[in-house]
Amino acid sequence: MLPALTLVLGGAASGKSQWAESLILNSGLNPVYLATSRIWDEEMQAKVDLHKARRGAEWTTVDAANGVRDGLAGAGPDQALLLDCATMWLTNLMMDEADIVDAQASLLTDLARCAAPVVVVSNEVGQSIVPENALARRFREAQGRLNIALAAQADTVWHVLAGLPQLRKGDAP
């Protein structure tokens, strides 16, 4: 049984999305994928296509690139939601020059109100070097604050490193 909120953290290409997908599929609930990525170029389109093919037809995909509120609010208790990923969600907000503090507060409220269990995937970006430009440094700080807030609210937190999931908070399903 999935808890109300699970956070899956890891670096880029760490296996976090596949681990999160397995958590959803093992729940026995109807899997719903909240896709936060915007398609910027052919490389990103290829990545999205690969993820869709890996998930298969049993997943319902909801385009949440412009916000996840509707997907979370419309979920039922017979579903399990995968929000993949909080990092792209944050990127979209920063590119739109949105109020990050208000958006994060709204996201946390929407997650708490969701009738379905939610697994959130997010990148751990704080273990690398200090970025050389102001936008990248602002992003790193905002991502760190978002991950801290998500982890504080989550019932379960996993860290995936090189495809190996490690439980950091809560109980394994």
Q: Would you report the helix, strand and coil content of the chain in percent, each value rounded to 5?
A: 40, 25, 35
Q: Which of 2, 24, 36, 51 is catalytic?
A: 51
CA distance 27 to 22: 9
**SS3 of residue 158 by DSSP:** strand
Q: Is 51 a catalytic residue?
A: yes
CA distance 58 to 40: 26
How many DSSP H helices and E strands does the chain contain? Answer: 6, 7
Burial class from Cβ neighbours inside 10 Å (0-12, 13-18, 19+) for residue 78 reads exposed
CA distance 4 to 154: 8
Q: Is 13 left (phi over 0), alpha (psi -120 to 50) or beta?
A: left
What residues are labeled active site?
A: 51
